[in-house]
Amino acid sequence: MSEQPHIAAKNPVKVELEAGKKYFFCTCGQSDNQPFCNGAHKGSGFAPKAFVAEKDGPAFLCQCKQTNNAPFCDGSHKQL
Ligand code: FES
C-alpha cells in the first residue's frame, strides 16, 4: 500500500507568486509552512514538488494534498 499524504487542511490557501521564481510545494502535508516544503518529509516516501511560477499574482495552492493538478487546488478537497 502506498503512503497517504497528511491532510494539512481541507481548503486551498491563497498565495502571491512571483513570475519566474521557483517554489517547493509540500506533498507530504507535514510541513508547518503550508503550502510550501519545510523539510518535514524527511524519512517518508514523499518529496517536494518544485515548480516555477508562470506569472505574478495570486494562486490557490492545495493543502489537502489530494489534488490531481499539484500544486494547484483542483477542488478535490470537496470530496473529503
Ligand atoms: S485544497 Fe486540495 S484540492 Fe483543494
For the stretch 19-59, pLDDT in tens is 999 999 999 999 999 999 999 999 999 999 999 999 999 99
Type of residue numbered 51: F
CB contact burial 66-75 (16+ within 10 A = b; e otherwise): bbeebbebee
Select from 48, 50, 51, 77 the least CA-distant residue to 65.
77
- CA of 10 from ligand 1 middle (Å) equals 7
pLDDT at 2 over 90: no
Which is the closest atom of ligand 1 to the Cα of 74? 3
What the block records as the C-alpha cell of 44 is 517518508
- CA of 6 from ligand 1 middle (Å) equals 12
CA distances from residue 46 to 2, 24, 55 in whole angstroms, order as listed = 11, 12, 27
Predicted TM-score (pTM) of the model is: 0.94
Is the preceding omega at residue 35 within 30 degrees of 0, hence cis?
yes
Q: How many CB atoms lie within 10 A of CB 77?
A: 18
pLDDT score at 25: 98
User: Is the CB of 61 inside a 6 Å radius of any atom of ligand 1?
Assistant: no
pLDDT score at 1: 52
